[in-house]
């Protein structure tokens, strides 16, 4: 059940949203299995770029690699947007990075917090995950037809909404800021930033976003990390991002620069919390 403040999320968002592409149309569901699954169906049926699916709760929220996304009702954001960029399919994963920067901008602007990004696309505050992103591609004979960009943000979830095993690594904007955040204000800000970066990316490619991404990436850059990549685990120092968004890592065993396109990062020794997490200090 939504709280009183949160009643009318969909109506308020419709009024507050001034984007040109994203959110036209906006489909809102009280509960759904997964916004990415539904948006994927819409995309296959020909839905236009910018169509968005938002749910108040998900019964089968999806993470990457078959993992699940905890999606309690009435408190968070579960959103999927259909994009149809005219780019090669190999460029589509860059949308993960783009979305992370947009979320980090919204968290900074609406909550006055200092988020950081963990490559490729987790957004953390005080070392805990407040947002996950899942970009799924639809291709036809190798050509990119659509990307379903799914974004889950823990906005007002209390700690009790998360299973015990996530208490150390997950948090919400409410828990880290100590105040309830209006979901429609947050979502309007997120979509405004997402559209700004999407247009920039279409016009100029990933290099135009790299500085913004790296500004938020203090949780990873310059640190000793281990990346569990499909080709095996590589340990070394994170150097930055290549022109296509690949993570550049100086391997500690061979001293070579590795280019990683996918994987799960862990910072050896854990994430810094507090002051060092703020990329602007």
Question: Pick from 9, 26, 35, 155: which binds ligand BT5 (CB under 6 A)?
Answer: 35
Residues paired with residue 52 on neighbouring β-strands, in sequence order:
26, 81
The DSSP line for 74-104 is TTSEEEEEEE--SS-GGGTTHHHHHHHHHHH
**Distance (Å, whole) CA 265 – CA 223:** 11
Near ligand BT5 in 163-182, by CB under 6 A: 166, 170
Q: Which stretch binds ligand BT5 (CB under 6 A): 41-49, 73-81, 225-233, 270-278?
A: 73-81
Q: Decide the pairing of beta strands 257-260 and 264-267.
A: unpaired
Long-range contacts of 203-208 (CB under 8 A, 24+ apart): 205/91, 205/243, 206/91, 206/94, 206/97, 206/241, 206/243, 206/244, 206/245, 207/243
Residue with Cβ nearer ligand BT5 (7 or 169): 169
- CB of 123 vs ligand BT5, minimal distance in Å: 9
Helix (H, G, I), strand (E, B) or coil at 260: strand
Q: Is 156 in the site for ligand BT5 (CB under 6 A)?
A: no
Q: Which stretch binds ligand BT5 (CB under 6 A): 60-68, 98-106, 109-117, 267-275?
A: 60-68
Question: Pick from 9, 78, 198, 206: which binds ligand BT5 (CB under 6 A)?
Answer: 78
The tokens 């799914």 sit on which residue? 150
Question: Pick from 52, 80, 105, 247: which binds ligand BT5 (CB under 6 A)?
Answer: 80
Q: Is 40 in the site for ligand BT5 (CB under 6 A)?
A: no
Q: Where are the alpha helices (DSSP H) in the chain?
A: 9-16, 35-44, 94-111, 173-177, 183-204, 207-216
Contacts of 261 (CB under 8 A, 6+ apart): 93, 229, 246, 247
Residue with Cβ nearer ligand BT5 (134 or 220): 134
Q: For ligand BT5, how many residues bind (rule: CB under 6 A)?
A: 25
Q: Which stretch binds ligand BT5 (CB under 6 A): 64-72, 173-181, 183-191, 220-228?
A: 64-72
Near ligand BT5 in 8-27, by CB under 6 A: none
Near ligand BT5 in 114-143, by CB under 6 A: 129, 132-134
Residue with Cβ nearer ligand BT5 (264 or 272): 264
Residue with Cβ nearer ligand BT5 (167 or 252): 167
**Distance (Å, whole) CA 13 – CA 29:** 14
Q: Is 61 in the site for ligand BT5 (CB under 6 A)?
A: yes
Q: Which two tokens stand for residue 56?
A: 């108040």
One character per residue 215-254, x = contact with ligand BT5 (rule: CB under 6 A): ----------------------------------------
Question: Pick from 23, 40, 115, 152: which binds ligand BT5 (CB under 6 A)?
Answer: 152
Q: Is the CA virtual torsion 136, 184, 167, 224 positive or negative?
A: positive
Interface residues toward ligand BT5, by CB under 6 A: 34-36, 58, 61-65, 67, 69-70, 78-80, 129, 132-134, 150-152, 154, 166, 170
């Amino acid at each position: 059940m939504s709280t009183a403040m949160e009643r009318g999320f969909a109506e308020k968002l419709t009024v507050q949203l001034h984007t040109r592409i994203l959110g036209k149309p906006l489909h809102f569901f009280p509960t759904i299995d997964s916004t990415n699954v539904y948006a994927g169906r819409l995309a296959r049926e020909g839905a236009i770029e910018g169509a968005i699916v938002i749910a108040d709760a998900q019964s089968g929220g999806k993470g990457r690699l078959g993992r699940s996304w905890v999606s309690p009702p009435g408190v968070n954001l579960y959103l999927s947007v259909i994009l149809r960029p005219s780019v090669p399919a190999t460029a589509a994963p860059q949308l993960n990075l783009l979305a992370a920067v947009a979320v980090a901008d919204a968290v900074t602007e609406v909550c006055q917090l200092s988020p950081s990004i963990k490559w490729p696309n987790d957004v953390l505050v005080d070392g805990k995950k407040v947002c996950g992103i899942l970009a799924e591609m639809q291709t036809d004979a190798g050509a990119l037809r659509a990307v379903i960009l799914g974004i889950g943000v823990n906005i007002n979830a209390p700690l009790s909404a998360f299973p015990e095993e996530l208490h150390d690594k997950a948090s919400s904007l409410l828990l880290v800021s100590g105040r309830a955040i209006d979901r429609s204000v947050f979502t309007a800000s997120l979509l405004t930033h997402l559209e700004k970066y999407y247009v920039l990316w279409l016009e100029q490619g990933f290099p135009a976003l790299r500085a913004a991404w790296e500004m938020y990436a203090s949780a990873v850059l310059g640190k000793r990390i281990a990346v569990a990549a499909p080709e095996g685990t590589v340990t070394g120092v994170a150097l930055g991002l290549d022109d296509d968004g690949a993570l550049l890592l100086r391997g500690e065993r061979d001293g070579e620069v590795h280019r990683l396109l996918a994987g799960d990062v862990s910072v050896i020794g854990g994430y810094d919390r507090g002051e060092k997490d703020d990329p602007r200090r």
